[in-house]
Structure formats: structure tokens, C-alpha cells
Amino acid sequence: MTLPRRVLIPLVFVVWVACCGHAVACDLMGISFDREVRAEPLFERFRRISEKRDLDGWGVAFYTDDSATVFKQPIPAAKSKLAQCLIDRRLLKSKILIAHLRAASVGKPSHRNTHPWTRELGGVEYAMAHVGGADKRVWSYVKLDRFKPSGENCAEHMFCHILGEIDRRGVESWDAEAFAWLHQMIAKLNEVQTTSLLLSDGTHLFAYSSTRTSWLSYVRREMPAAGRDGDGDGPHTATGVIVARETHNLARPGEQWTKIPRGHLAVFKDGRQIYRSKPAE
């Protein structure tokens, strides 16, 4: 029996979604500046995305010193009193920040399945968040060492693998050789788990753009530097970059964003791009 086209096309789509798990995508934002800035206006605008989608959680990780401060909840950011408190009390003061809005695929909405995640390695606290598909093959193909996930999210599994590989390689400081190695390692992961991700060690912001979907883009921007007293804005201007998924709502009128090409890793430090890879072969 041949199914009518009007039935066949939706059926194929449903099967594709069920098998591949790539229909759901989250949203992602990161910043790297040369001075501490007040990130509340950016986060306030970013969280509005969750008024219509990405309803299964939100999180933010930022560095006020060498450690990461993380707030997250398995509810829409637009409805979160905690998120509103962070904005109202102006608590998001940092040079580096990673924010995430979740649309759940693998792993039910819960605190432990909500991005970003953090782990300590060699006295450095890493944070990571991810957008892309969800593929359960990651548990079979991506092996873990000393780092283990606390939840069921395959992106956390991938984060634990990345840190395990950094530990195994013995990376103590990041340079062009280490950046190239990280790029190749993440590219291999992308063959199993479609991913665009933001990763930070509190000094660098690593941004990898998927080879398949959900690529990232960035823009250079100036913002008022945060005051030393922690309350007001300082007299200086901070210069840096904002990184986001292609469907973001952060652009100013007439502002041109630069795509991080699919399969590329870009690394930012103190608001400047210090590394950009070639696509993995």
C-alpha cells in the first residue's frame, strides 16, 4: 500500500525526530570582556526567548574570581523569580559568563540535567553548556575516566569526557597546540553527538560550532565597565565579545554578527579572539 504524500511526509518527520533526536535545540549565550561588566541587561534580553520556547530550564555560570558561580533551575527563565533577582540585584558582574536555556530531549527537566555544569581540574574550575541534538549513542561511544555525570543528560556526559581527555593529556596551560588538539577532540565527539558548545576555565571562552546545525556567531561590543564597589558602573569602557546561537535576540539595530563556521573552534581571552581553527579533516 502506498501512503498519500500528505501522510507520508509528516510520518517521515516524526520517525526522523524519534530516531535522531535532533529536532529540539536549546539556546546559548557567552561573553568575554577585558574588564568586568554588568551582564544583567544581556541576560534579561536573552531570557525572553523562554517566553515562547526553551521551557525546561535555565542556567548561568560566571566567574568573579578563579571559581565559577552557578545558578540554574528546571523552569522557564522568563518565569523564574531567581533569574529576576539576579537581574534586579545586579549580581552578574564578570568578565566571562555562560548562559543557557534548555529544551529537554534526553533527561527529564531537573536541576541535575540543567546546563551549565562545572567540574574542578587541577585547581581550575571549568564550566560548559551545549546546544544541538541529543544522541544516546554518546554513552556507548564516548568513554569516561575520573569525571562522571550526575544526571542523564548526554551533554553532561560529553563534558565529563572532555575534561577527562584534558586531564589525560596533562594540559596545564593553553597555547595554540593545545587549542588545536581540543578542536580535533571535540570534532570527533561531534561525529556522535551533534553539538555547539561554550566551555570556560575562567580565563578563556572556548566556542565550538557544530558541523551540522545550531552554529554560533559573535559580535564585538563595548559596554560600561563594572565599578569596583560592586554597585555602580565604573568610569571605564570594557571591550569584548558576545557569542550566541544563530537564533539569538541580542543584536542591536544594524549590528553585524560574525558566524563561527561549522566545525570551527574559536577561543576568546580578555575580549579578544586569540585562536581560530581550521575545519577538522
CA pair distance 226, 8, nearest whole angstrom: 56
**Nearby residues of 160 by Cβ (< 8 Å), 6 or more positions away:** 119, 144, 147, 148, 149
Give the residue from 125, 131, 159 showing the smallest Cα distance to 144. Answer: 159
CA pair distance 200, 174, nearest whole angstrom: 12
Entry pTM: 0.88
* Complete domains list, the chain, with CATH: 25-276 (3.60.20.10)
HSE (CB half, 13 Å, CA atoms) of 115? 33
Cell 562545572 found at: 118
Given a contact cutoff of 8 angstroms between Cβ atoms, the answer to whether 216 and 260 are in contact is yes
Q: What mean pLDDT is predicted for residues 27-56? A: 96
The 10s digit of each residue's pLDDT in 221-250 is 999 999 765 454 667 899 999 999 988 999
Residue type for position 242: I
HSE (CB half, 13 Å, CA atoms) of 74? 11
HEC secondary structure over 180-217: HHHHHHHHHHHCCCCEEEEEECCCEEEEECCCCCCCEE
Q: Is the pLDDT of residue 172 over 80?
A: yes
Bridge partners of residue 59, in order along the sequence: 72, 100
DSSP state of 63: E
Bridge partners of residue 131, in order along the sequence: 196
Q: What mean pLDDT is predicted for residues 8-33? A: 57
Active site residue 26: yes
Active-site annotation holder among 20, 26, 85, 154: 26
pLDDT (0 to 100) of residue 15? 32
The 10s digit of each residue's pLDDT in 83-140 is 999 999 999 999 999 999 998 887 788 999 999 999 999 999 999 999 976 666 666 7
Q: Is the pLDDT of residue 267 over 90?
A: yes
H helices of the chain, where? 5-20, 40-47, 81-88, 138-141, 154-169, 176-190
CA pair distance 109, 273, nearest whole angstrom: 34
